[in-house]
Structure formats: structure tokens, C-alpha cells
Amino acid sequence: MSSIPSDHKYAHELKIATLAVKRASILTKSLGDSISVTRTSGSQIKDDKSPVTVGDYASQALINHALKLNFPQDEIVGEEDSDSLKDGSEEANRLSSKILEILEDVQQKTVNWKSDIGELKDLESVYTSIDLGNSEGGSKGRFWALDPIDGTKGFLRGDQFAVCLALIEDGQVVLGVIGCPNLAEKVVSNTNMTGTKGGLYSAVKGLGAYYTPLFDTNEFVPLAKQEPIKMTQETSPSKLVVLEGVEKGHSSHSTQSQIKAHLGFSEETVQSQTINLDSQAKYCVLAKGSADIYLRLPISDTYREKIWDHAAGNVLITESGGGVCDIEGKELNFGNGRYLHSKGVIAANKAVLGRVISSVKAVVNK
């Protein structure tokens, strides 16, 4: 275990972020499991997005509430607002009631955290907390970036999703916490994932990156008692493992296949050297040393990534010894508002990052 001091600069921020992400992870895991039961029973849920809607709102409400309680001056860049919940429609009322119900349930399960991250007791407080995520971000001062359920399609499928929270100061990510309720401790391939299910991944600028089981304890585990994680230094094309998204609408899989060929991957093994995961769980697998490269190539020249989709993962990679950039090799800038101005995302161990950037440029610019 590491010798991280318990009174480091971001100690309080880390504790609150961790408890909030853990509480939201318990909530979303429970909700996801209930969807799985419905799916198994044969009920039609394919077009019913209400579970993820409820989860998004509830997760954002409780995390925003925890942040406001502890850091009242901090702004939050969040994905949701409560407008559609307050329009008076039957659907809005149904969703609101469900949100309050699952919040009450998770707050009861984590009642010992009340003094640290508070509780939400009524719908007006829920709506107010959701709407705290209306910040536009920017290059000055500090704010939080939150994705309450990253990987919504994975969530609905019963696959990977994540609760992601990052602290940004003057455009730089200084702290990130990611809860991955369905991610196994060891990921080898798309079909080989073993060990404890549910992981909590944390990084603090200058202090490293860490892993601990997400659901093993109802207490906050300080960094000194977590497992330090490091990226690989693998460079051999026959051994490199690449992470990509599952959904083809999120990144260009065809371009990424050309990049892997340019890097020297053989046609016979390229499939077994590729792991497809939803959400920022990809960053977690990369940081833990189970893969070497993450490719997210833009699907169009005008597409821009949202900062909450990458902020927490960014600091996790840099603090585990890797590098993150866009397809031109430029560092990602989280100080330009709610969107990244860069094109695509590349993350890799530093030993191979330069080659990956060269291959990306060769394929994209030809």
C-alpha cells in the first residue's frame, strides 16, 4: 500500500466525491439489476428509456447535493436539468415519484453517510439539486464535471456503465472518481472478465491512481489503503490490447481498424486484441494495466466530445503513467466550456503513444 498522507490538498474533496459516487453507484446498480430481472422475464423494455432517465436524474441529484453541501462556492457542469420533470404531465409526475422512491431507498442503505453528504427528502430539493449542474465551465476557477450514468446503452443492456465525477481547476483536471458497478476486477477479453465485480477508480493530481472494490465496504477507504495502479509499457504489436467503444455511432470503428493494421496488428489476432466496453470503464481498464491503447476517433469533422465524458478518465490515465491527447497529439483542454474543442481521443501507455499518434495521422490524413 502507498504512503499517501491523509491530509493531502484534496483530501476532503476526494472523500466527498468518493461517497457521492459510491452512493450513486449503489443506486444505479440496483436500478440496473431490476432492468435485468425485467429483461429475463421477457417483458418489453427495448424502447423504454425511463429506467436510465430515472437513474440519470437521481444520480445527478444526490451527487450535486453532496457537492453543494460541502463546497457551496463550486459550480457543477452536469448533463441533466429538471425542466422535463416539472411540466405537470403524467409521465413527469411518474418519473418524479420514482426518483424520490429510489433516492429514499439508497439514502436508507447509506444512512451513515448523512453527516458527510446529506439527504434529499422532497421533490423540490431534488429538482433544485439537479439544476445545480447548469455551469458552463471555463478556464478560470474550479468546477466539477459530472456524468451521472456514463454509457446509457450499456446500462440498459446490463453491460458496462460508470458514474463519473471530476474536479477541474483552471482548465486542468485535478481529481477524478469513477464508479463501475458491473466491471470485473480483471479484464482479459470481451468474454474473459473475472474477480470482484464492481470497481472504484480514483486519481488525484500528483498522488497517483488507485483501485478498490466498489461494494466491499460502506466506509470511505483512503488512498493509502487502496491499490495503486499503473499502465503497462507494452510496445509489441502482437501483445498490444486496444480498447474501443461498443456503439459504432460513438466512434469510427472502420478507421480504428485501419489504425490497428498500421500499428502492425495481424488480421488473425486483431479481434482477440480488441476489447469493446461502454463508458469510461475503458479508462479504468487501461489505467489498471489490462490494456494498452484506447481509441475514440471522431465520427464527423464537426463532432465534439463533452467534457464530462472524459474528465475523470483523463486524470486517471495521466496519474497511472499514461498519456491522453486528441488525434493531432494535442492535450485535451477542459477549460473551453462544456465541450472539448479537440478532435477525438487517444489514450495509451507512454512507450507506445507516439507510434499510435503517428499511425492515427497516417490513416486519417491519407
Gap between the Cα atoms of 290 and 282, Å rounded: 10
Domain with CATH 3.30.540.10 in the chain: 11-228
- Is position 28 annotated as part of the catalytic site? no
Gap between the Cα atoms of 227 and 284, Å rounded: 13
pLDDT at 301: 84
pLDDT at 250: 61
Tell whether residue 47 is among the known ligand binding residues: no
**Between vectors from CA 193 to CA 230 and to CA 164, what angle results, nearest 5°?**
60
pLDDT at 251: 66
- Is position 152 annotated as part of the catalytic site? yes
Residue 1's SS3 state is coil
Tell whether residue 170 is among the known ligand binding residues: no
What distance separates the 2 farthest-apart alpha carbons in the chain? 59
Supply the Cα-derived Rg of the chain in whole angstroms: 20
pTM value is 0.96
φ and ψ of 169, to 5 deg? -125, 120
How far lies 87's CA from each of 5, 105, 149, 319, in Å? 49, 25, 23, 44
pLDDT at 39: 59
pLDDT at 6: 80
User: Which is the catalytic residue, given 152, 232, 274, 318?
Assistant: 152
Domain with CATH 3.40.190.80 in the chain: 242-364
Mean pLDDT by 10 residues, the chain (366 residues): 77 98 98 77 49 94 99 97 94 95 98 98 98 98 98 93 99 98 97 97 98 96 96 97 86 87 94 97 99 92 93 99 97 97 96 98 91
Tell whether residue 105 is among the known ligand binding residues: no
Closest to 133 (Cα-Cα) out of 341, 306, 365 = 306
CATH class, 242-364 region: alpha beta
What is the fold, at CATH topology level, of the domain defined by 11-228? Fructose-1,6-Bisphosphatase; Chain A, domain 1 (3.30.540)
User: Which is the catalytic residue, given 18, 56, 116, 318?
Assistant: 56
**Cβ atoms 260, 242 nearer than 8 A:** yes
